[in-house]
Amino acid sequence: MLKKKFLIFIFFAYYANAQTELKFNLASAPLLVPNIGIEVKLSDKIGYQLDTSASFYNDIEGSPFHMTQIFNEFRYYIDKKRSFFIGTHVGYGMYNIRLPKWIANISGSEFKEEGSYQYGRNTYYGITIGKKIPLKNERFGLEIFLGGGSSQSNYKYYNKNEQRIFAITNYKRKFNKSGEELPYRGGLMLIYKL
């Protein structure tokens, strides 16, 4: 009986591994922001991916840039080759940042003083589109993707002296709130098939 259970376990482990892809984002790696993921094939047309990214900079233009994100995503593959996909995701993030001046200029955000920062949490709801590109070695591939949607934040804002600043001075609540619709993930993943 034990031998039979062991053989079933080996078969299941082999089958699960044959359907699994490990991923590493080549676009964020040069910025020292690791982004790794794992995707499991659920059927010929459906996959589930879990991925995470983080940054650990203590000083960018005088402020910290610490960020962690994790996403759960279900993907629908449009073609039989499993190359084009559209996915829906839910994510969660924590941060301790001030947007660098060049990002604030691009996004139209107000540039905060040097040394100030926001500390908070994000939730993400959105879609991802992408394409997988096979390479000569069948264990490896590339995936280009872009995702976005709604980003909802609860945060506290601190000045360079670490004093709390309230968005509305006559109403002091525990957290400030912010919500935007924007692209917030993307890149070029290197895929390794187990």
pLDDT tens track for 107-162? 556 656 776 778 899 999 999 999 999 999 999 999 999 999 999 988 887 777 77
Predicted local distance difference test score (pLDDT) of residue 157: 79
Asked if residue 187 has pLDDT above 60, the reply is yes
Predicted local distance difference test score (pLDDT) of residue 80: 85
pLDDT confidence bin for 173, thresholds 50/70/90: low
Token code pair at residue 81: 């080759």
Asked if residue 13 has pLDDT above 50, the reply is no
Query: How many other β-carbons are positioned within 10 Å of the β-carbon of residue 149?
Result: 19
pLDDT tens track for 41-79? 999 999 999 999 999 888 777 777 789 999 999 999 999
CA-nearest of 12, 17, 15, 5 to 192 is: 17
Question: What b-and-e string marks burial along 50-84, b requiring 16 or more CB atoms within 10 Å of the CB?
Answer: ebbbbbeeeeeeebbbebebbbebebebeeeeeee
Predicted local distance difference test score (pLDDT) of residue 126: 97
Helices (H) then strands (E): counts for the chain: 2, 9
Predicted local distance difference test score (pLDDT) of residue 129: 98
